[in-house]
């Protein structure tokens, strides 16, 4: 049996806190534990969000597996796919991209088809985002026949409604994918296309297809109509080269979703879409596929894994293809490191390496600079031999000795203040003291109250969130991130997860703009 799994991992560098268990001691990395939990011979990951310079050895080299990566060449932390094969399913060839522009000519797959409708710039742009990775395996059927099987691991583009050029890019990618897959079929190779196709094919694959305008007229769905056979209406429609493996086994299964909105918490009520597929050519599906499955219980991403089981055995290659990450210079031990150049002088002499010796003039100049620095850094002695002490604060309030010595003018003497005041009786002094203390206390109290009210107004925090109309529960605040006149504005929505409209426990669609403070 051959078990294949595909998963949009949404970032391989934060691997998957959602598996719900700790890494056992016999697993060297978290990723190895993830692969073992998925229990597949071949694991295809999408949206790895890692570039070549950020790929670390624990992600690139996993014990018991050989891995292959395709990186985004233009934007960091974006896109990217990876395929991990058990050593018992080592491919005979591997290749990055669909166009062949990134083929190494050493272990590539070939069979590119007619791509004359694309320019070289378009082909390079389509493959520069790290969205496709091909591995070719040798399989043996239950009849004992050996056939080549090519897995195309794809992360298809998303068509942002605000960027029409991305829809054009997406359709070009679809077209290039179909050309390459059909060329491989024409060469006598079995083909599996698996990954995130970023399109829900049928209304049964979308949670709210009825509310979408022209659902069937979407360009991506029309392309899938031409790629995937409609098993229900096969007699009336043309026979497409591929079959959706999940719908082959479960044609009427509803709410079989693989992707959910994280912002609205839609996964809690299973309100999403099915955009992750395992497609196989007709002969392969009918003759060898035993089952197809979804794994919605596996957390850690906004997608869940999908997969299939084939009644074939894999014949591993004796050596990994050149694209394997273990052959990269930084992981194969062939890349020179900076520490290799910084060896002690004695070791360099033993190895016979030339050691640079400074000239006599350079040594003299260096000694002069050191001596000059020592002279300049010595503290200068004060003339007179006495150190000047720092004045105390009270010394500024004492009469100046120089003024008494140099001034001959006799200042008029004023009478003492005590002689100008008439003494008051003790009772009046006591009353005056009590009044003064009460006045001071009231002033201090008033000042504290003013300060308290001020800080309460400053640190009062935001106003309480309004209650939604459907459940009378506090709302959550969101911020507009879409470019436009409302960019940056805050608003309140119902805090409950998004779900079917007839479900009273789902979001009530309450919306309220936050007033500026």
Higher pLDDT, 39 or 435: 39
For residue 437, name the pLDDT band (cuts at 50, 70, 90). Answer: confident
Q: Is the pLDDT of residue 281 over 80?
A: yes
As a whole number of angstroms, the distance between CA 190 and CA 176 comes to 18
Respond yes or no: is residue 503 known to be catalytic: no
Binding residues: 8, 47, 196, 198, 302-303
> Is the dihedral angle over the CA atoms 452, 454, 455, 461 positive or is it negative?
positive
Greater confidence, 155 or 335? 155
Name which of 3, 38, 368, 166 is nearest 15 in CA terms.
Answer: 38
**Which pLDDT score is estimated for 30?**
85
pLDDT of 346 higher than 80: no
β-strand partners of 151: 135, 192
CB 464 within 8 A of CB 474: yes
Q: What kind and span of H or E run contains 290?
A: strand 289-294
**Residue 274 — very low, low, confident or very high, per pLDDT cuts 50/70/90?**
very high
Cα Rg of the chain (Å, integer): 39
Q: Answer whether residue 223 shows pLDDT above 80.
A: yes
Residue 392 bears catalytic tag: no
- Quick check: 129 and 78 in contact, CB under 8 A? yes
Helix axes 120-127, 164-186, angle to 10 degrees: 90
**β-strands 146-155, 190-196: how paired?**
parallel
Kindly indicate the confidence band of residue 75, based on its pLDDT and cuts at 50, 70 and 90: confident
* Structure tokens belonging to residue 501: 């409209």
Where is pLDDT greater, at 344 or 75? 75
Which entry of 112, 281, 303, 492 is annotated as an active-site residue?
Answer: 303
50 in Cβ contact with 59 (< 8 Å): yes
Residue 212: both structure tokens together? 């979408």
How far is residue 444 CA from its own chain's centroid? 55
User: CB-hemisphere CA count at 13 Å for 284?
Assistant: 29
Identify the bridge partners of residue 133 per DSSP, sorted by sequence position.
96, 153
The beta-strand segments (E) located in 25-164 are 42-46, 65-70, 81-86, 93-96, 132-140, 146-155
Reduce the DSSP state of residue 374 to 3 states and report it: helix
Q: Looking at residues 287-309, what average pLDDT do you find?
A: 96
E-only strand ranges, 78-219: 81-86, 93-96, 132-140, 146-155, 190-196
CA distance 246 to 307: 9
Residues 312/2, Cβ–Cβ less than 8 Å: yes
**pLDDT at residue 113 is higher than 90:** yes
Burial of residue 192 (CB within 10 Å: 0-12, 13-18, 19+) is buried
Say if pTM beats, i.e. exceeds, 0.75.
Answer: no
Q: How confident is the model at residue 415 (pLDDT cuts 50, 70, 90)?
A: low
Single out the catalytic residue among 196, 230, 244, 281.
Answer: 196
| 70-102 per-residue burial string, b: 16 or more CB within 10 A, e: under 16 | bbbeeeeeebbbbbbbbeebbbbbbbbbbbbeb
Greater model confidence, 103 or 281: 281
155 is catalytic: yes
Rounded mean pLDDT of 439-462? 77
pLDDT over 60 at 357, yes or no = no
Distance (Å, whole) CA 242 – CA 228 = 5
How far is Cα 87 from Cα 69, in angstroms, rounded to an integer? 16
pLDDT band at 162 (very low <50, low <70, confident <90, very high): confident
From 112, 155, 174, 248, active-site residue: 155
pLDDT above 80 for 409: no
Structure tokens at 73: 């060449």
pLDDT digits (tens, 9 = 90+) for 306-343: 999 999 999 999 999 999 999 998 888 765 556 656 66
What is the per-residue pLDDT for 499?
87
Q: What percentage of the chain's residues is helix, strand, coil (to nearest 5)? A: 35, 20, 50
Q: What is the mean pLDDT of the chain?
A: 84
pLDDT confidence of residue 234: 55
Examine the pLDDT at 236 and tell me if it is beyond 80: no
pLDDT for position 341: 61
Binding residues for Mg(2+): 8, 47, 196, 198, 302-303
Higher pLDDT, 364 or 85: 85
Q: Residue holding tokens 């044609």? A: 251
301 phi/psi in degrees, rounded to 5: -150, 170
First to last CA, the chain: 63
pLDDT > 70 in the chain, percent = 77
Instruction: Work out the pLDDT band at 279, boundaries 50, 70, 90.
Output: very high
Run of H or E residues at 33: helix 30-38
315 C-beta neighbours (distance < 10 Å), count: 14
- Asked if residue 378 has pLDDT above 60, the reply is no
Contacts of 74 (CB under 8 A, 6+ apart): 128, 129
> Phi and psi dihedrals of 258, rounded to 5?
-125, -5
pLDDT band per the 50, 70, 90 thresholds, residue 408: low
Angstrom distances, CA of residue 154 to CA of 69, 157, 199 = 12, 9, 13
* Secondary structure E strands in 299-441: 306-310, 313-315
Residues of the chain above pLDDT 90, percent: 55
């Amino acid at each position: 049996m051959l078990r294949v799994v595909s998963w949009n991992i949404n970032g391989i560098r934060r691997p998957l806190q959602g598996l719900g268990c700790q890494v056992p001691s016999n697993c060297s990395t978290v990723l190895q534990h993830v692969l073992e939990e998925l229990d597949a011979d071949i694991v295809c990951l999408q949206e790895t969000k890692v570039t070549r310079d950020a790929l670390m050895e624990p992600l690139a080299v996993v014990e018991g597996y050989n891995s292959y990566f395709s990186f985004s060449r233009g934007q960091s932390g974006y896109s990217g796919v990876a395929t991990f094969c058990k050593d018992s399913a080592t491919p005979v060839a591997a290749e990055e991209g669909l166009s062949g522009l990134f083929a190494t000519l050493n272990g590539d797959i070939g069979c590119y088809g007619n791509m004359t409708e694309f320019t070289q710039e378009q082909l390079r742009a389509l493959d520069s985002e790290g969205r496709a990775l091909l591995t070719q395996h040798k399989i043996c059927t239950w009849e004992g026949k050996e056939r080549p099987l090519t897995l195309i691991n794809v992360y298809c583009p998303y068509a942002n409604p605000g960027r029409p050029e991305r829809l054009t890019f997406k359709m070009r990618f679809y077209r290039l994918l179909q050309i390459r897959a059909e060329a491989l079929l024409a060469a006598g190779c079995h083909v599996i296309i698996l990954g995130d196709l970023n399109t829900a094919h049928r209304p049964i694959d979308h949670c709210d297809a009825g509310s979408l305008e022209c659902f069937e007229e979407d360009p991506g769905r029309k392309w899938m109509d031409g790629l995937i056979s409609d098993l229900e209406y096969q007699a009336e429609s043309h026979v497409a080269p591929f079959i959706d493996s999940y719908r082959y086994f479960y044609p009427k299964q509803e709410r079989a979703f693989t992707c959910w909105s994280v912002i609205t918490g839609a996964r809690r009520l299973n309100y999403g879409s099915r955009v992750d597929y395992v497609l196989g050519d007709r002969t392969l599906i009918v003759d060898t596929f035993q089952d197809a499955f979804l794994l919605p219980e596996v957390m850690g991403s906004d997608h869940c894994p999908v997969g299939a089981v084939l009644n074939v055995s894999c014949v591993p290659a004796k050596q990994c293809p050149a694209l394997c990450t273990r052959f990269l210079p930084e992981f194969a031990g062939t890349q020179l490191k900076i520490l290799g150049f910084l060896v002690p002088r004695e070791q360099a002499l033993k190895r016979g390496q030339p050691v640079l010796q400074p000239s006599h003039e350079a040594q003299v100049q260096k000694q002069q600079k050191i001596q000059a620095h020592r002279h300049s850094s010595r503290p200068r002695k004060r003339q007179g031999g006495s150190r000047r002490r720092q004045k105390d604060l009270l010394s500024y309030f004492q009469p100046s000795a120089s003024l008494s010595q140099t001034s001959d003018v006799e200042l008029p003497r004023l009478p003492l203040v005590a002689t100008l005041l008439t003494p008051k009786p003790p009772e009046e002094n006591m009353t005056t003291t009590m009044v003064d203390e009460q006045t001071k206390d009231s002033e201090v109290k008033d000042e504290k109250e003013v300060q308290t009210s001020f800080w309460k107004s400053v640190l009062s925090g935001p106003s309480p969130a309004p209650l939604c109309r459907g459940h009378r529960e506090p709302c959550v605040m969101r911020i507009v991130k879409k470019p436009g006149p409302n960019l940056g504005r805050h608003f309140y929505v119902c805090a409950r997860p998004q779900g079917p409209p007839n479900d009273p426990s789902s979001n009530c669609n309450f919306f309220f703009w936050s007033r500026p403070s």
